[in-house]
């Protein structure tokens, strides 16, 4: 009976530990800012759970492809997963404000940029590739697009599994019957 227990315990702990592993969906988001500077983008990556749900939020640090043209050179934002219409998910981002250093304040202000979403990127499931619209203020000074796309295949997190297996092996060894040595002198 104890031999079965020494095999069963580490296996049971490994199976339980596998339930604690959580894979992630890593997506990139990229804003086309060619209306301000040819080929200019603002982009970053964000991580969602393996099964994103409406209301999930993820932080993202966005960087400009040409940081010498903008201030600040990076922006912190939040990605939010909302209900898509008529189904699926909509991927939204928090309002983004920055300065276009070569812009002018008049007659039309192209210096102070305030990006908001319209025509949201929609996904049936994740990982996902989709595009949506952005505009600088309302009425819009300019409009453009943002795109989300998968960065890499989800990787499970094995960091909790190793200690669980080690604990199982220690307990299994303690539960094992003592080894009897044979007397070979005769």
- H-helix or E-strand spanning residue 162: helix 161-175
Nearest to 158 by CA among 9, 18, 15, 16: 18
Q: What does the alpha-carbon distance between residue 100 and residue 33 come to, in Å, rounded to a whole number?
A: 10
Mean pLDDT, 10 residues at a time, the chain of 186 residues: 54 50 82 96 95 94 97 97 90 96 92 94 94 94 96 57 57 62 62
Residue 19: the pLDDT is 47
Question: C-alpha 124: how far from its chain's center?
Answer: 17
Which pLDDT score is estimated for 96? 97
Nearest to 151 by CA among 125, 127, 131: 127
Beta bridge partners of 64: 42
152, 60, 128, 30 alpha-carbon torsion, rounded to 10°: -100
Bridging pattern class, strands 41-49 and 112-118: unpaired
Q: Tokens representing 66?
A: 């040409």
Per-residue CA distances from 140 to 109, 134, 145, 170 (Å): 11, 9, 13, 65
Q: At what angle do helices 161-175 and 2-20 cross, to 10 degrees?
A: 170
Residues of 71-90 as b/e, b for ≥16 C-beta within 10 angstroms?
eeeebebebebeebeeeebb
pLDDT value of position 173 = 62
Q: What does the pLDDT read at residue 84?
A: 86
């Amino acid at each position: 009976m104890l031999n079965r227990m020494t095999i069963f315990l580490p296996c049971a702990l490994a199976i339980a530990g596998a339930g604690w592993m959580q894979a992630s969906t890593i997506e990139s988001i990229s804003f086309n800012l060619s209306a301000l500077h040819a080929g200019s983008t603002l982009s970053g990556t964000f991580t969602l759970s393996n099964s994103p749900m409406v209301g999930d939020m993820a932080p993202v640090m966005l960087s400009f492809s040409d940081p010498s043209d903008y201030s600040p050179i990076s922006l912190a934002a939040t990605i939010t997963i909302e209900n898509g219409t008529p189904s699926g998910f909509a991927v939204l981002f928090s309002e983004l404000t920055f300065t276009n250093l070569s812009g002018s304040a008049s007659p039309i202000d192209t210096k102070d940029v305030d990006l908001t979403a319209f025509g949201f990127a929609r996904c049936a499931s994740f990982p996902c590739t989709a595009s949506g619209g952005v505009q600088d203020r309302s009425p819009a000074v300019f409009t453009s697009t943002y795109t989300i796309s998968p960065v890499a295949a989800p990787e499970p997190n094995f960091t909790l599994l190793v200690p669980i297996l080690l604990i199982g092996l220690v307990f299994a060894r303690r539960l094992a019957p003592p080894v009897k040595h044979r007397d070979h002198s005769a």
